[in-house]
Structure 1
């Protein structure tokens, strides 16, 4: 007996209904991307390993899927690496490519390679899958789509304001109210590390701090101690674990803490600019929040950091995030090009909309009219109508076989097709069609134009 097939953990098949709902989300995101002036690009699903490695920190590097070299890949492995079973060293011998971890680093590579073909500032959007060797759980997959928008070639903080507005516009159109856009600044985090004497441990400091919502205050302190931060240093940042009040009050508290750090004060100033202008312009679906513990754990952020949380009561991780990365293209040899971008987590947004029942009923409507098949002549007669329906932009199909009427009607019910057309000998003789509403059972016998008028 043949073994039942399966798929790798953390991946999924999608039904027609699921794909339709996902297309609904990406359609709204794409429309807003274009409305805000972003242009589409695509990059390969895999990159050279050296393009990706070292860009996401140690934790990120461990989650990158490497691709074995084709052919006898062990032939290129160094003998001492094989003998010592040094998997980390041998990985570079036998794997020169890797699946992309996100869309931002490939975008930076794209900008460097195509710098003579693009005009700065360059605004691009990209909707493609990415892969991470993460532990699968609810809302976390090993293959998932990201929907990214980035701007490179501008230092203006108005870009950050625009991205907050873009987030808000998408969630408003999706009907998803009550999302929280958390904002922090990498300069603030650098300033905090500086004032506690841990500037040389900035990465360790931010990676631990970013886990506050996952492992709690004591867990963060324990990890910081393990990374070499002193108890005195941790004591000095104690206020971070209990920041309260309005965004303005939180910024005031930050300012008081960071008054001796020039970089930290610059970060507070940038946050004030974003919050004051977004507040003045207004938002429709989102709550804005200064989150001083937000770090996102990615080494390339240098300014504003964004993370979007689902509405209260929905058990879901972040559904979006991003930030400014002033020196990302510099790692590929192009200096002085500032960038900032955000990402929408398609898969998690899907789960949130599903849980809250926010998908419109019309989203999953594919075929609107099914023409029943009673024989060769009747099918040809139905095909003439089918062509006119499609010309009017109405999704329609002919049942392919002259099966029993009950079978054809069951097909329409299972597919949730709202209308069926019956065209037998009598209708052909009278040059009419019988249109049946599947929801209420009502039937009308109509001329072709009357039927078209009724459905348009």
Structure 2
């Protein structure tokens, strides 16, 4: 049987993993620099934890896990009935499935906070780097298994947290050398719009449709709004929102004319103006996008989206926003939070297209030095030398076969991009001095073990 992997998943070899680890190390360092602490949650959650949090479209993308040992059930007729019903529409049945793979990291985080509330110090700042799964249609930049890197602060409604997250985004994308456009909006504005056009019960349908403007265009949004039962008069009132272009301040004024008469609209405008007044990115371009909606149901305030501002591949590489009562679903009301999620897999794809990975990452090996040898005696002697190097925190390996000629051993180092080769034979053992070659230049010298360690540390620094 020819081996394969499921569609929407990928293998990562050593070269890819070094690049991914480069991204992750920058994000992890910045999370901790800004005071966030790490947590992890299980890959599986109870399905009741996940459903109803992402909207109808999101719920349909949850990977459900069939109950184990289902063949031992005593009521197979009920199982067949539940299965037939599940084929007709999206539904959950505890007889068929009680668990699911996590869809994102935010809802499990809210569940974690509620379960551990008496152990945590609020405001609680956490970061989390783990894979998530979505039963989506695979395409470029859209995978069924992918990593998210989340940073959230919960237990505070201060807008200083939004400014902090913007500063973290700005620093991270600057270090990753990706020019980015950071878009933001406020869900209070969208709620106010639904109120102004007399369609408050349709807020979810309106935000889901508007959020697709970049993908399906104005006509597509209007068609979807019409199909959701929103009146022609209401759709007509939304057109200035879909058409308007201008500076951030001009957009604030158009929003003021649309929703400034409502209390929630005034509050949304106040929050937008606070961010525009106080934000000061060094790298990212900031844009108020009054059509940005972010489809997830739990957002209530500021919402973020970041796209690469260069190249042809420009998917969203970060999303996030403010949620005022996500923990309330699990029994802990009035716990406001805000967070962002870096999409590592898309960031990787964007960096590949823009060719912005450092050359040292692209061409480096995790091994700094390879010990080569002539016979069994010199090979075993290398074990002691390798220990000395590893004790000095210098990565090294010994060529494992004694049947290969020296040229083959050096060829192995060349193919693996190992920067240094140390050849050990009977003469080197007798003198206690070892021949070391720098592969990039061909320079050779003979050094004792102390000088060898000092030389390598200097060269690898």
**TM-score normalised by the shorter chain: which range applies?**
over 0.9
SS at match of 2:138: coil
What is the rounded CA distance, in whole Å, between the counterparts of 1:418 and 1:83 in structure 2?
61
Look up the SS of the partner of 1:125 in the other structure: strand
Q: Deviations over 1:361-398 (max 9, x none)?
A: 22243111101132222123322322222222221111
**SS of match in other structure, 2:127:** strand
| 1:328, distance to aligned residue in structure 2 (A) | 0.3
**Aligned residues between the structures:** 450
Instruction: Provide the secondary structure at the position in 2 that maps to 1:319.
Output: strand
User: What's the CA shift string for 1:328-383, capped at 9, x where partnerless?
Assistant: 00001111111111000010111111111211122243111101132222123322
User: Which residue of structure 2 aligns with residue 428 of structure 1?
Assistant: 429
Aligned partner of 1:115 in structure 2 is: 117
Partner of 1:159: 161
**RMSD, aligned α-carbons:** 1.6
For residues 96 and 79 of structure 2, the distance between their equivalents in structure 1, rounded to whole angstroms, comes to: 14
Q: 1:378 to 1:84 in 2, by over 3 A?
A: closer
What's the counterpart of residue 350 of structure 1? 348
Q: Report how far residue 451 of structure 1 moved.
A: 2.0
- Structure 1 CA distance, aligned partners of 2:328 and 2:91? 26
> By how many angstroms is 1:272 displaced?
0.9
Asked whether the 8 Å contact 1:321–1:344 carries over to 2, the reply is: yes
SS of the residue corresponding to residue 237 of structure 1 reads helix
The separation in 2 between residues aligned to 1:265 and 1:77, in whole angstroms, is 57
Unaligned runs of 5+ in 1: none
Deviation sequence 1:302-350 (CA, Å, 0-9, x none): 0010011112323131000100110100001111111111000010111
2:133 matched residue in structure 1:
131
Equivalent position of 2:35 in the other structure: 37
- CA displacement at 1:429 relative to structure 2: 2.5
**Is 1:54 the equivalent of 2:56?**
no
Matched residues in 2 for 1:222 and 1:89: separation? 27
* Cα distance change of structure 1 residues 54 and 276 upon mapping to structure 2, 3 Å threshold: same
Task: Give TM-score, length-normalised by structure 1.
Answer: 0.95
Structure 1 residues 18-417: aligned runs within 5 Å? 18-72=16-70, 75=74, 79=78, 82=81, 85-87=84-86, 88-89=90-91, 91-176=93-178, 178-278=179-279, 282-363=280-361, 364-402=364-402, 403-417=404-418
Structure 2 residue matching 1:144: 3-state secondary structure: strand
Please state how far the C-alpha of 1:81 moved relative to its aligned partner: 6.3
Counterpart of 1:438 in structure 2 is 439
Cα offsets for 1:257-315 (capped at 9, x unmatched): 1122211121111011112111xxx2122111101111111000000100111123231
Secondary structure class of the residue paired with 2:316:
coil
Query: Secondary structure of 1:354's match?
Result: helix
Which range moved further: 84-93 or 312-321? 84-93
8 Å CA contact 1:324, 1:339 repeated in 2: yes
Q: Distance in 2 between matches of 1:209 and 1:114?
A: 37
CA deviations over 1:232-256 (Å, ceiling 9, x no partner):
2111111112322221221121112
Distance 1:118 1:248, change over 3 A: same
* Off by >6 Å, runs of 4+ in structure 1: none
CA contact (8 A) 2:182 2:305 kept: yes
The answer to whether the 8 Å contact 1:100/1:131 transfers is: yes
Deviations 1:187-244 (A, max 9, x none): 0001111111111100000000000011111101110010011222111111112322
